[in-house]
Amino acid sequence: MALVTGGARRVGRAIALALAQAGYDIAITWHTGEADAQRLVGEIVAGGRAAVAIQADLTDPPAAVRRIAETIQSLSVLVNNASIYEPGDLRDATAEQWRRMWAVHVESPLLLCRQFETQLRQSRGHVVNMLDLLAERPWPKYLAYCASKGALWNLTLSLAKELSPEVTVNGIAPGVVQWPAEYPAEEREKYLRRVPLGRAGTPEDVAAAVVFLCSQGSYVTGQILRLDGGRSLT
């Protein structure tokens, strides 16, 4: 089974569908999007794979992990996709915001790896952590977000050592793969002028990379794939 946290919408949804098409049964977690989660489960089941949606609030990692572990008995793929993206600079970022970011982006992936270590080792499984180019090139107005993604970047490297040789652990650091609806057209054009491949990515681009790392990437571990159309070069 493959677990995709925050799998009901956007990139998480694309990852869950791609893994199901690759032959995995799927578990996703959701926090507030129950209808989206159940629609996705129905779609996966209709395609011939088993699927389950688990309500879990990853801002409370110990409780969320217990809830997930009560539902899943075996696991061979873990995709830590759940994320909180919100602004907060040096003056505006609150202690509560820092705590929530750390809980979702760092503590939850760590505790899930600890909880399912035995199953992942036994299945010679794979962990993929969803990062962000902003972990390398932080925006000060997203201080807490960038710092917590940077911590997950580092955690990915440590877990790759810790879980070897049975388990691969890698990260994917996308550029833009799905524009926010309110993102101004002129800002989109400005961004794309700095992308060598000349386009934004898609959730399906990310999903294809996840499938590769969980199928053909058995000799790849401790790597961060910058999935950005070359944006990190400019």
CATH value at residue 33: 3.40.50.720
Its domain, for residue 31, covers: 2-233
Say which residues have a Cβ less than 8 Å from residue 175's Cβ, sequence separation at least 6: 133, 195, 200, 201, 226, 227, 228, 229, 231, 232
Bridge partners, residue 227, by sequence: 174
pLDDT of residue 139: 85
Q: What percent of the chain has pLDDT over 70?
A: 100
Give tens-digit pLDDT for 24-63. Answer: 999 999 998 899 999 999 999 999 999 999 999 999 999 9
Least Cα distance to 178 among 5, 15, 2 occurs for 15
d(CA 128, CA 45): 23
Give tens-digit pLDDT for 116-169. Answer: 999 999 999 999 999 998 888 888 888 999 999 999 999 999 999 999 999 999
pLDDT of residue 182: 73
pLDDT of residue 183: 72
SS3 for 103?
Answer: helix
Average pLDDT, the chain: 94
Q: How many domains does the chain have?
A: 1
Please confirm, yes or no, whether 145 is among the known catalytic residues. yes
The rounded Cα 230 to chain-centroid distance in angstroms is 20
pLDDT of residue 16: 98
* Model confidence at 187: pLDDT above 80: yes
Q: Which of 24, 85, 145, 219 is catalytic?
A: 145
Q: For the whole model, what pTM was predicted?
A: 0.95
Give all strands (DSSP E) within 56-131, no chain letters. Answer: 77-80, 126-130
